[in-house]
Amino acid sequence: MKFETKYLWFNTEKHREFINITREVERVVEKSKVQEGMVLVSAMHITAGVYVNDAEEGFLQDIETWLEQLAPEGPDYLHHRTGETNGDAHLKNLLIGHQVILPIRKGKLDLGPWQQVF
């Protein structure tokens, strides 16, 4: 079994950002020399998520609206009793998910025509 581990770091400036990491994942896959297999992409922070979908700007706004409707920022979540104020971010992580497994074929990330990793 062949594997490669690479930790990617992202510094965000806003409360929530959608960062397209497709190219970074492709570079890790290429470096790994794995020809056929899978790559696990996992968000290593409890309030971060990872997903695969379209990179169209309107859709990103739709995701933002959907997340805010289901887990709005601001309400007095019980989690806030710990002194933190990010209860909504923890819930949004549950909605988005924290990892994806993607196929590798012929040494390349094998995504559909519009799929991107965020």
Buried/exposed 51-90: b ≥16 CB within 10 Å, e otherwise: bbebeeeeeeeebeeebeeebeeeeebeeeeeeeebbbbe
The Cα–Cα gap between 90 and 86 comes to 7
Name the band, by pLDDT with cuts 50, 70 and 90, for residue 30.
Answer: very high
Instruction: Output the average pLDDT for the chain.
Output: 94
User: What pTM, to 2 d.p., does this model score?
Assistant: 0.91
Beta strands across the sheet bearing 99-105 = 36-42, 99-105, 108-109
**pLDDT at 74 (0 to 100):** 86
**pLDDT at 33 (0 to 100):** 95
For 103-115, write each residue's pLDDT tens digit: 999 999 999 999 9
Sketch out the chain's domains with CATH numbers: 22-117 (2.60.120.460)
**Mean pLDDT (whole number) for 12-34:** 94
Q: Is residue 3 scored above 90 in pLDDT?
A: no
User: In angstroms, how far is the first alpha carbon of the chain from the final one?
Assistant: 27
Grouping H, G, I as helix, E, B as strand and the rest as coil, residue 38 is strand
